[in-house]
A = this chain, B = another copy of it.
Amino acid sequence: MIEIITAERADWPGIWAILEPVVREGETYPLDRDLSGEAVRAYWQAADKQVFVARDEKGGVIGTYYLKPNSTGPAAHVANCGYAVRPDQRGKGVAQALCRHSLEEARRQGYRAMQYNLVVSTNTRAVRLWQHMGFAIIGTLPGAFHHPTLGYVDAYVMFQGLV
């Protein structure tokens, strides 16, 4: 049983335990690998983001995502999200549950679409999952991401209508 709810202030240590390995790996997010916890907190909990957490039966934070408008004004009806799962919970459907929740939440809030701006092409598990969840690759950005071991790799823009 996974429960997904709005994050509270007290959740940050649990969220950081999830984000720190993601940031240190440097393979999926456009964040410098040596960012401090405070810098990542400023990114993940920026003023325009709503943050959610997934909890297991014992209340431990096993995943997190943010939801925000991808742009502003006449383009603010398109949502954007970022997701992360605790390393020991990967491959267990947590990311899928987070994505499903985010799509429902975006619809509930009146967003008309959801867009991912920079899905690293080498993150094949994520690409397949987002496709499974209804997203289409609408464009390929050549060499747009500098992977720590593979060098410059492509990134995808992925999009899904919600109405």
* Contact surface of A with B, Cβ cutoff 8 Å: 26, 29-33, 35, 71-78, 112-113, 115, 117-118, 138-148, 152, 155, 157, 159, 161
Contact = CB atoms under 8 A, between A and B. Distances in A.
Given A138-B140, A159-B141, A161-B142, A74 B113 contact: no
Contacts of A115: 141, 144
B161 A30 contact: no
Contact of A73 (B30, B76, B138): B30
A29 B73 contact: yes
A144 B32 contact: no
Given A31-B74, A138-B140, 13 more contacts: A30-B72, A30-B73, A31-B72, A32-B73, A35-B73, A75-B118, A75-B144, A75-B145, A112-B152, A113-B142, A115-B141, A138-B139, A143-B161
Contacts of A142: 113, 159, 161
